[in-house]
Structure formats: C-alpha cells, structure tokens
Amino acid sequence: MTTKSMDLGEAAGASAAAIAQVEAHAAHNYHPLPVVLARGEGAWVWDVDGRRHLDLLAGYSALNFGHLHPRLVAAAEAQLHRLTLTSRAFHNDLLGTFAEEVAALCGMDMVLPMNTGAEAVETAIKMARKWGYERKGVPEGRAKIVVMGGNFHGRTTTIVGFSDDAAARDGFGPFTPGFVRVPYGDAAALAEAIDDQTVAVLLEPIQGEGGVVIPPDGYLRAVRALCTERGVLMLADEIQSGLGRTGETFACDHEGVVPDAYILGKALGGGILPVSAVVADRDVMSVFRPGEHGSTFGGNPLACAMGIEVVRMLRTGEFQARARDLGEVLRRRLADLPASRVAGFRARGLWAGVDVVGRTGRDVCEGLLRRGVLAKDTHGSTIRLAPPLVIERADLEWALDQLAEELGS
Ligand SMILES: *Cc1c(COP(=O)(O)O)cnc(C)c1O
C-alpha cells in the first residue's frame, strides 16, 4: 500500500481532498496523522470536516499557551497595525524591551534574537567556538563541542551531522567537524571527553524528541560543575523543555542549575511566529561584533511583540504552576496504566513519554485520533504527550481516559 492510500483510508470528506493535495504537491518530509486542522482555540482544534480534537502535542511545545491565546492574539494584532519588519539595518522600538525582558527572565545580560530553533542552536555553536578562540586560547580551527547521544537540536547540516538518528543524518553528509558525542546522562563519560580544545557542552536538560528522556538526578549539576571546573561553556537547549513546560521556567531549574547560555525557541513565539534566541552574559555574548552573525528576520518588531508578551505571561508563574499541578494528574493517570500495555513512562511537569507494548506508537496515535485526541509518536513505540499548559483539568482527564481505553485497560 502506498503512503497515499493508507492516509486516505483514515480520512473522509474535505480531509481526503486536502490530504490528496498535500501528498501531490508538498514534499514528503513528514508523515502526518490523517487529520486536516482548520481552527483552534485553547487546547482544542477543529478539522475541515467539523470534528473537534483535543491537542495533546501543542506544536511540540510551541503552543504552550494553547491556540489563539487572547493576550497573544491581541499583542500580534496591535503590532500588525504598527510595524512588522525593519531588518537589523535599523533599530526598531521593541527590540530593546524584548532583549531586556528575555534576558531578565533568564537572569542573564544579553540576547541574540533569531527565528527558528535550529538557527539559535547554530548561533550558540558559533558563539562557543569564537569564545573558545578569543577567550580560552584554543588554536584556530580546533574547537570541540561535546554533544549527547539521542540529541535533537534541529535540521541544519551541521546539526544533523552530530545526531545519532540515522533518519536525520544518513544521506546528508559531508558534515561539519568539531563535535564529540557521549552517552546522555553519563557524567563520567563527559568528564573523559572534555579536553583542552573543548569549548562547550551542548545538551537538552530533558531530551524531547528522544522521547522525554530525563537524565539521572544530579546529572545537570555534575555537568555544570564539570563545565565550570574545566572552563567550557554549558549550552542548555531549552527550546522544547523551557518556558514553563516542566513546571519551572526552565528544566535546568529542577536542579538549581544555571547554564552559560540558554537556547530558546518554540513557545517564545507564542505559537504565532517562529521566535528564537540565545541568551548569555556579556562576557560571552560580546564575542559577536557587527557583521559576524545575523538574520534578516531576527528581532523583527512583530516577533519582539510576541516574545515580550510571552515573557510577561511567564513572569507571574501561573503557567509554571499549572504545568506542575496538571503534571501531577498526568503522572498519576499514567502510573495507573497496566504494565501489560505500557513498558514505562517518563514525566516532568505537563510533559511525558509513554512506551507502549505490542503496538507501534503510530498505531496508538491513529487510534487516539479516532477518539478525538491528538498525540505524536516518536522512536517507534513511544508516545509523546505535551498538552498546552492552558488545558482544563477535566479535558486532560478525558484525554487520559481515551488513552487508557485505546490501550485496552
Ligand atoms: C524543536 C527543537 C529544535 C529545533 O527547532 P526548529 O524551530 O524546528 O528549528 C532544537 N532543539 C530542540 C530541543 C527542539 O525541541
């Protein structure tokens, strides 16, 4: 059976026509579930056939505040009538506020704005390399960055070059040198990998795409201590784990760890625009001088308006508290699933990876779709749950009822 007929088999009416059009004319670099969404509000979305679904993926955490949050829509609308793009050839009247407030949220000095997550990771890599040459005295062209097994940092050629996921990497070489990979969660392996030419350790404090993989307790503190001791930068990719998802502003907060740079994206744009940033102290960020890095759209006023509103929403702590409280519900309900159907799960805040038994994650997600619940599989048998932080408790409970029934318990 072709992909096309398989997908159409699940869909009907307007969905079938829309999916056929996508299959014919959009590159097949994704394998979406057979549902065509046309409208959203909060944690709910509606498809082109008028069916309602509860969104338990939230754009991989880009939609932490749900669909069309009134504060974010108002901020976007107001800015749409003022100014949307200047390029960095000129100043705009929002970049200063955006940078100051994002930096303050991170407890750091300076922000370099970009658009997508991958661009922010690339920016952090360039920053660390230059810092290594200028500040640490690493010989030019020799800088090394230690990365983790199971990492996901985006899709550029440099980034997929240090991935160990064959699908992400194979066929896209040759790759950028200068990366060393060690097992995630293994502080001893990291200690061994760091040498005089190491400029940074790049890691996700929780691996999202990897299946919500939480490192052992104390690991982030050990990474922090090693980085400080050996004079290398700790770069925390909080693109998916940050901005409230885990019940704290940053996943690093769970161990009381402050990295040398935060890499932010996804929810920073409020689910409306791609907005990303690298945040660091002045002594590190100052390695960039005019002309050495940039982006046409980075720091544009519309993006800044979204980022400012997102930071202000996070400042009250209410979304972090929701993630904590609803996360307890999620954890309790996942723990109730029978061992015959679920091999295990990992959860922190409103974020979980569930390993199913005897079925593919895809098959379970297709079953959930028929029940009006949207979730996404990763790595074969894992289902990733990342509901919008605005989800109502009763809706979350209903979705978890659907999961329990779908798994046949
Ligand atoms: C999604 C993600 C990225 C890449 O972000 P894009 O906006 O898709 O480029 C990088 N790192 C992590 C941890 C992510 O989850």
Question: How do residues 229-255 score in pLDDT, each as one tens digit?
Answer: 999 999 999 999 999 999 999 999 999
Q: Which of 130, 144, 250, 266 is catalytic?
A: 266
The backbone torsions φ and ψ at residue 26, rounded to the nearest 5 degrees and listed phi first, read: -105, 140
Angle subtended at Cα 360 by Cα 355 and Cα 363, rounded to the nearest 5 degrees: 120
125, 165, 214, 239: residue to mutate for ligand 1 pocket, most atoms within 8 A of CB = 239
The pLDDT mean for the chain works out to: 96
CA dist list (Å): 278 to 122, 228, 311, 325: 10, 19, 15, 29
Does ligand 1 come within 6 angstroms of the Cβ of 154? yes
**Closest C-alpha to 57, from 387, 404, 399:** 387
Q: Is 327 in the pocket of ligand 1 (CB under 6 A)?
A: no
Q: Measured from the CB, is residue 175 less than 6 Å from ligand 1? A: no
Confidence of residue 409 (pLDDT cuts 50, 70, 90): low
- Residue 344 sits at φ, ψ, to 5 deg, of 170, 170
Q: Is 175 a catalytic residue?
A: no
Ligand 1 atom with minimal separation from the 121 CA: 10
Q: pLDDT tens, 155-209?
A: 999 999 999 999 999 999 999 999 999 999 999 999 999 999 999 999 999 999 9
C-alpha 71: how far from chain center:
22
Atom number of ligand 1 nearest to Cα 207: 13
Task: Please state the domain extents for the chain.
Answer: 8-68+318-355+375-408, 70-315
Strand partners, 233: 200
Interval between CA 307 and ligand 1 midpoint (Å) = 17
> What pLDDT does residue 402 have?
98
Measured by CA distance, the residue closest to atom 12 of ligand 1 is 153
Give dist(CA 78, CA 169) in Å, integer: 42
pLDDT reported for residue 379: 86
Which atom from ligand 1 is nearest to the alpha carbon of 159?
10
Q: 389 CB contacts (<8 Å, ≥6 apart)? A: 64, 65, 66, 244, 245, 319, 322, 323, 326, 350
Give me the catalytic one of 55, 237, 260, 377.
Answer: 237
Matching residue, tokens 């593919």: 360
377 flagged as catalytic: no
Model confidence at 5: pLDDT above 80: no
Q: Is the CB of 117 under 6 A from ligand 1?
A: yes
Statement: 8-68+318-355+375-408 belongs to CATH 3.90.1150.10: yes
User: Would you say residue 272 has pLDDT above 80?
Assistant: yes
Q: What is the pLDDT of residue 10?
A: 54
pLDDT of residue 11: 63
pLDDT of residue 2: 36
The topology under which CATH files domain 70-315 is Aspartate Aminotransferase; domain 2 (3.40.640)
A 10 A CB-CB count for 247 gives 23
Compute, in angstroms, the gap from residue 123 CA to the centroid of ligand 1: 13
Cα–Cα distances in angstroms (integers) from residue 78 to residues 115, 261, 312, in the given order: 20, 31, 16
Contacts of 357 (CB under 8 A, 6+ apart): 340, 341, 342, 343, 381
Whole-number Å distance, alpha carbon 266 to ligand 1 midpoint, is 7
107 Cα to the center of ligand 1, angstroms: 22
- With a 6 Å cutoff on the Cβ, whether 238 touches ligand 1 is no
